[in-house]
Chains A and B, each alone.
Chain A
Amino acid sequence: MLELTNATAVSRREIPALAADAFRSALGDALRGGARLGALFGREGAAGEAILTAVVNDDGVGASRVVEARVRGGYPSLTSEWPEAQAFERELFEETGVVPEGHPWLKPLRFPPRPGGEGAASIPGAYPYFAVEGEEVHEVAVGPVHAGVIEPGHFRFQCHGERVLHLEIQLGWQHRGVEELLRGGPTKRTLSIVETIAGDTTIGHAIAHCELLEALSGGVAPPRAQALRGVALELERLANHVGDLGALAGDVGFLPSASFLGRLRAEFLNATAEICGSRFGRGLLVPGGVRFDVGSEAAAALAVRVEKAVRSVQAAADLFFDAPSVRGRTDGVGVVAPALAASLGLVGPAARACGLARDVRRDHPSGIYRFAYLPAVLAQHGDVFSRAWIRLLEAERSAAFVAQQLRSLPGGPVRVALGSLAPDRLALSLVEGWRGEICHVALTGADGRFERYDVTDPSVHNWLGLAMALRGEQISDFPLCNKSFNLSYAGHDL
């Protein structure tokens, strides 16, 4: 396997191309050695062959490795031994028809519409769900249209009384064809598409994309831009973590914290809007830097504002975490055991809540994170409480980081022009978004354009974690468990 680090590019010619069995065993060795699967995708090769590309991220050594395979028809599945590969191999099968042999459940991932087909075949709902049989077993179906103002997806519960025996999560309703649209780029529209892969993670995906373009063109964003990118990424984390805490408070009916935190979330969105005009950071990132600078006075004022807001968050969150009724609803509910979390390949706060110390900012730092260290926060129990608690601790760390960066912004420009993209390269970019690891992989062709652009939102790793968290739980705890993960449908469906 060829080694590369985050936010770099390698020549495609140097990537080893293995036979199917060797590919499987090389990946197996890497995963056994503690690396995680970061990306796996296929594309059409010559003469009826398919070419598979896999990237593993080795947190221990702070590097990634890439390997390719030429396969015809199929290859021995990874999922049978490494469940973390399950979604990737389903995607691969759905997109290329290559069969991961021995995959325990090769069900569709996104139901991309078939050419010319308006028929039921391309609609995610028309699908035989897993069913539990038994006299007192019943089934509950929710979605695609949910009760709240949220994205569509389908949850199918197999219940015995109130107890959930099995939850199947079927997605695909949000499929917009993101990766297809990115092929052949970059074009004038590329960045707008990237910013809306998951609209609540605009900064995370935009940084991944821009760092990837910088790696491909040999350009480097100026230090001041890198610091501002870090500020924006942590503000995005703050807004979402605080909003999620508020929503969790709402779900257990603890309304004071729900309303305080729901409002305080806006403080961080508005801080982002002070920098770039958009509460979601749209338009802030550009390849080669950032579009907007922040003057020193404005930066100082913003730092004070963020510090003040996070103090209010702490007060509102203390009420929440101290309330016995909240403890009762969150302690020991929706548990994902550490070993299970590791085998599913969970990322982000959902993984750290199970004691898995993985954080791209620490393990594969790029940009400002090479210079500014953010300690990873861990909890042990893998329950709703841990996932909530992690959110508060991370919010506190992020706020301190933002304030510190804003007070010590490096001088100089915030943007440089990039040259053209190098042809025949593979570039990798990892970012610790607020949900976890964002992974972008681009292959450029002979013309320096994207022959393939592969996006992995952290949600792809984590949705099965939610399904497992529900095993044996009361069905009424579903909204709470769901919120404690708060995964992206659009980011998954692409």
Chain B
Amino acid sequence: MSLLDILRVRAREGRQTVAYPDGPVKLPERFRGRPTLDASRCPDGCERCAEACPTDAVGPLGAGAGGVGLDLGRCLFCADCVEACPEGAIAFTRDFRLAARTRGALVVQRDEALLAEALGQKLRELFGRSLKLREVCAGGCNGCEAELNACGNIQFDMGRFGIQWVASPRHADGLVLTGPVTENMRDALLRTYEAIPAPKLVIAVGACAISGGPFRGSPAVRDGVGDLLPVDLWLPGCPPHPLTFLDGVLRLLGRVQGGREAEIVRLPQATSESRAAAGALKGR
């Protein structure tokens, strides 16, 4: 093997970094990004989506709140609700932008984009061109962790924006949390947070960190970050796509603003067969 061989492979591989945020992104046709709801189609008293949703993320919001809502903080993007809905009121778009600055903003009732607002001027000046992050996995399944790792590879290359994973919390400007926060990790999580010098950011990644995800209610976990840490950015998904993370952080830093209208791709309607199959499974 010679240097020439390496260069030959390099030439064949070409440039592999995604064009985002300056150019278009290519996502698989069936990619499930931000879901949309059209509650005007929901017949009174219908709870089919709620009966199907593994994490009770979707359904009637309850007396007073009005209508049907979908909590992206709990959503696993599994599409069980799409299959269950007899009215076609729920659809997944390919919009990968899913960042919110508050927990409440993750509850959607219609087709509304999620574009997190930037930090204030002062923090933007501090972190805008160099943001070092310490990741803490507290019960994550390695799905979120794998996608966060991918953010650093040559394809998503968050290093181009000065965003980097660091090993020591002392070197970090913020903490990225994944996992439902197991009882056994709570202490280590808090101590890592304390070790990061202020001012510091907290980013909650994935359904687990936001709400406990599939493990919600287990006595071994704390159902996500709760009020253990002050969260600056919420990134739903199971796991969130690397572009969702990149987009969220760049918006937080004020380096991406606005955005094109999401392209809405509705999943193929459930057939009566598939619905029967789904019903037979769910009914038990």
Contact = CB atoms under 8 A, between A and B. Distances in A.
Q: Which of A188, A256, A270, A289 has the most CB of B within 10 A?
A: A188
A280 B154 contact: no
Contacts of B281: 186, 286-288, 417-418
Contacts of B153: 259, 262-263, 266
Contacts of B182: 173-176
Contacts of A37: none
Contacts of B241: 279
A193 B214 contact: yes
A19 interface: no
B184 A124 contact: yes
Interface string A84-115: 00000000000000000000000000011101
A192 B29 contact: no
A199 B142 contact: yes
A315 B77 contact: no
Contacts, number: 225
A275 B30 contact: yes
Contacts of B6: 256, 319
A280 B277 contact: no
Q: Is the interface of A mostly helix, strand, loop or mixed?
A: loop
A312 interface: yes
A177 B100 CA distance: 29
B9 A256 contact: yes
Contacts of A286: 277-278, 281
A243 B238 CA distance: 20
A173 B218 contact: no
A196 B219 contact: no
B185 interface: yes
Contact of A319 (B5, B32, B213, B220): B5
A175 B184 contact: yes
Q: Which of A145, A243, A292, A318 has the most CB of B within 10 A?
A: A145
Contact of B145 (A122, A150, A195): A150
Contact of A418 (B80, B138, B219, B280): B280
B146 A199 contact: yes
A448 B135 CA distance: 42
Interface in A163-215: 172-178, 180-181, 186-189, 191-193, 195-200, 202
B9 A319 contact: yes
B139 A200 contact: no
Contact of B31 (A115, A243, A277): A277
B214 A490 contact: no
Interface residues of A, number: 84
A173 B184 contact: yes
B184 A263 contact: no
Interface string B246-284: 000000000000000000000000000110111111101
Contact of B77 (A173, A193, A282, A312): A282
A252 interface: no
Contacts of A124: 184
Contacts of B137: 149-152, 174
B63 interface: no
A202 B220 contact: no
A490 B140 contact: yes
Contact of A199 (B53, B136, B140, B274): B140
B150 interface: yes
Interface residues of B, number: 77
A415 interface: yes
A74 interface: no
B12 A315 contact: yes
Q: Which of A113, A199, A315 has the most CB of B within 10 A?
A: A199
Contact of B139 (A150, A243, A490): A490
A389 B5 CA distance: 20
A312 B184 contact: no
Contacts of B135: 149
A149 B145 contact: yes
Contacts of A256: 6, 9-10
A177 B215 CA distance: 8
B218 A181 contact: yes
Given A189-B55, A198-B142, A270 B214 contact: no
A288 B139 contact: no
Interface string A465-492: 0000000000000000000000011100
B209 interface: no
B30 A199 contact: no
Contact of A174 (B55, B185, B218): B185
B280 A417 contact: yes
Q: Which of A174, A243, A416 has the most CB of B within 10 A?
A: A174
Contact of A192 (B1, B76, B150, B276): B76
B214 to A, nearest CB: 4
Nearest to A171: B184
Contacts of A288: 277, 281
Interface in A435-476: 448-449
B78 interface: yes
A151 B140 contact: yes
A148 B167 contact: yes
